[in-house]
């Protein structure tokens, strides 16, 4: 939950009481990132729609890019009982996958330009794009644009490509 959901954000924020904290600091790509991950007990009585949730996770991010400082606080809820460091690893791992897949789907496959917005088609196209990315990677491609260009020759070429690997 971020501040773009103000009512829920404020309610979660008001019930949050940290019981464990973990700090991560990374320096890369010309920036310094500091993440403070805190966990607390989830108040089930206050949120009957989330009876299975047991943990509130608070992530405070601070990014310093040369002369600019950005701060953001997000809350997550989970049905897992893990340590703050384990949740920090899960959250970072999710963004690693997201950063690996989203640019390919957006830039190479033009997902954001798609005008398909209703019914089951957006989900089907997303599944198709993910399948293509996974097949390209399994065939040994690291550059998805190059893979897409190579595989435009038709189904016979694709089948030969996958038999060779």
Question: In this structure, what CATH number is given to the domain that contains residue 44?
Answer: 2.20.130.10
- 157 located within any domain: yes
- 101 located within any domain: no
Q: List the one residue out of 36, 62, 56, 33 whose CA is nearest residue 44.
A: 56
| Parts of the chain with a pLDDT under 50 | none
Q: Provide the whole-model pTM.
A: 0.63
Q: List the one residue out of 28, 91, 82 whose CA is nearest residue 59.
A: 91
- 146 located within any domain: yes
pLDDT score at 126: 86
Are 80 and 113 part of one and the same domain? no
Q: How many domains does the chain have?
A: 2
pLDDT score at 144: 86
pLDDT score at 99: 66
pLDDT score at 57: 94
Q: Beta strand 20-28 with 31-41: parallel, antiparallel or unpaired? A: antiparallel
pLDDT score at 109: 84
Number of H helices, E strands in the chain: 5, 4
- 46 located within any domain: yes
Are 123 and 71 part of one and the same domain? no
- 99 located within any domain: no
- 25 located within any domain: yes
**Domain assignment of residue 125, given as a range:** 109-165
Give the C-alpha separation, 2 to 131, whole Å: 31
Are 61 and 113 part of one and the same domain? no
Give the C-alpha separation, 63 to 133, whole Å: 31
- 91 located within any domain: no
pLDDT score at 56: 93
* Digit-coded pLDDT (tens) for 123-164: 898 888 888 888 888 888 888 888 888 877 777 777 776 665
pLDDT score at 40: 94
Are 77 and 14 part of one and the same domain? yes
- 97 located within any domain: no
């Amino acid at each position: 939950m971020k501040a773009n959901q103000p009512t829920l954000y404020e309610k979660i924020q008001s019930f949050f009481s940290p019981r464990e904290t973990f700090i991560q600091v990374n320096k890369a790509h010309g920036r310094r990132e500091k993440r403070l991950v805190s966990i607390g007990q989830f108040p089930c009585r206050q949120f009957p729609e989330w009876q299975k949730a047991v943990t509130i996770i608070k992530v405070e991010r601070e990014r310093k890019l040369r002369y600019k400082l950005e701060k953001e606080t997000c809350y997550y809820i989970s049905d897992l009982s893990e340590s703050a460091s384990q949740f920090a690893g899960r959250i970072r791992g999710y963004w690693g996958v997201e950063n690996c897949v989203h640019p390919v789907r957006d830039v190479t496959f033009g997902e954001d330009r798609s005008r398909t917005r209703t019914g089951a088609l957006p989900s089907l196209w997303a599944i198709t794009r993910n399948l293509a990315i996974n097949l390209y990677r399994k065939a040994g491609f690291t550059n998805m644009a190059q893979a897409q260009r190579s595989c435009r020759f038709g189904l016979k070429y694709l089948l030969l490509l996958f038999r060779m690997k």
